[in-house]
Amino acid sequence: MAEITTATIMELRALTNAGMMDCKRALIEANGDMEEAIKQLRLKGQAIQVKRASKEANQGLVEAVSSEDGSVTALVEVNCETDFVAKTDKFKAFVKLVAERVLAGDDNEKVAESLKDELADLLATTGENVKIGRLARFAAEGTGKIGSYIHMGGKVGVVVEVGCGKAETLNCEAFTTLVHDLSLQIAAVSPRWLDDSQIPGDIITAERELYRQQMAEDKKPANVIDKIIEGKLRKFYSEVCLLDQPFVKEAKQSIRQLVAETAKACDDTITIRRFARFQVGAA
C-alpha cells in the first residue's frame, strides 16, 4: 500500500478542487496513483475542475526569512503556473506564510497541513495550480553567520552558513563582507557542491570517461592522456564546486583563496559549512 501523505492529498485537491477527505479516499482506493485517483473523483462527480497536465507549475517565487537574532534562516520556493499570478500580492503573502512556517520548524507535509485553508483560498482565487516546492531551514551549527540573498525579483534565492572559531570574528567587517559576497557568488554562478569531496563518485567516473572518449582518436601516450584528464577534471571542479570557483568580483582569485584571505584578516579559522540555492522552475 503506497503511503498517502498530506502533501499528496493537497496536490490532488489542487488538481481537482475536491474535498480533502474525498481526495484521501480516492488516493487510498487508487493505491497512491494520482491519475487513477483523479479518474475516481471524476467518476463520482467530486472533481469540480481538473487542471490540464500540460499546465505545469513552473513559475513562482523564492523567499527567505530569518529569526530576529539571525541564528535561523528559512528559504522556500512556491510554484504557480504563470508569472502574472506570482506577482500578485495574494501569492506573495502566501509565500511569506510558507517561509514563516518553515522558519518555525515545519517540514513540507506540516506546512501543507497548517496552511491548507490559505492554499485552498489561493487556488480558488487564482484558478491556478499552486505547489509548495523546495524548503531549506538553516539553524546555526556553532559560532558563525547565516546569510541569505534573493535575486531577480524572487526568481533565485540563496542561504549560506559560514562558521568561525571566535565570537569576536562575528564583528569583523571582512567576515561580514565574506558572507554577503558568498551569497552573491552562489546566486550568480550556481555551484552544485562545496568541494570535490562532495561530488558523487559516479559523476566523477562519468566525467573521466567522457574526457577519455573525447581523446579516443588522439595518438598521445597513456600517461599524457591521464594528465590531460586530470586537468579537465580540475576545470570541471572550478565550474561546479564553490570553493574552486573564480570569485565573481575578482576572477584571478578563487573562493578558497578568498576564504583564506578573510581568515587571515580576522585572525581566525573560517569555513563554509553549507549552502542552498533555489531557482524557480529549476531542479
Q: What is the pLDDT of residues 211-222, one digit of tens each?
A: 888 888 888 888
- The rounded mean pLDDT for the chain is 90
Q: What is the pLDDT of residues 221-260, one digit of tens each?
A: 889 999 999 999 999 999 999 999 999 999 999 999 999 9
Max CA pair span of the chain: 71
Using the CB atoms, write b or e for 105-128: b if 16+ within 10 Å. ebebeebbbbbeeebbebbeebeb
| pLDDT at residue 247, rounded to an integer | 97
* Whole-number Cα distances in Å, 94 to 41, 111, 217, 243: 27, 11, 57, 35
Question: Does residue 14 have a pLDDT over 80?
Answer: no
Residues 177/169, Cβ–Cβ less than 8 Å: no
CA 76/CA 248 separation, integer angstroms: 25
Q: Where are the domains of the chain?
A: 6-43, 52-135
CATH no. for 6-43: 1.10.8.10
Residues 278/99, Cβ–Cβ less than 8 Å: no
CA 192/CA 276 separation, integer angstroms: 9
Average pLDDT over residues 255-271: 98
Question: Does residue 281 have a pLDDT over 90?
Answer: no
Please return the burial class of 187, using the count of CB atoms within 10 Å of its CB with bins 0-12, 13-18 and 19+. buried
| pLDDT at residue 148, rounded to an integer | 97
| pLDDT at residue 53, rounded to an integer | 41
Q: Which DSSP string corresponds to 221-282?
A: -HHHHHHHHHHHHHHHHHHHBGGGSEETTEEEEEHHHHHHHHHHHHTS-EEEEEEEEEETT-
Q: Which three cell numbers stand for residue 137?
A: 531551514
Q: Which helix (H) or strand (E) holds 147?
A: strand 144-151
DSSP code, position 112: H
Instruction: Name, in order, each residue with C-beta under 8 angstroms of 122's C-beta and a sequence gap of 6 or more.
Output: 90, 91, 94, 130
Name the CATH code of domain 52-135 (choices 3.50.50.60, 3.30.479.20, 3.40.50.960, 3.10.129.10): 3.30.479.20
Average pLDDT over residues 182-202: 96
CA 17/CA 129 separation, integer angstroms: 10
Question: Does residue 47 have a pLDDT over 70?
Answer: no
Q: Which helix (H) or strand (E) holds 29?
A: helix 20-29
**277 strand-pairing partners:** 158
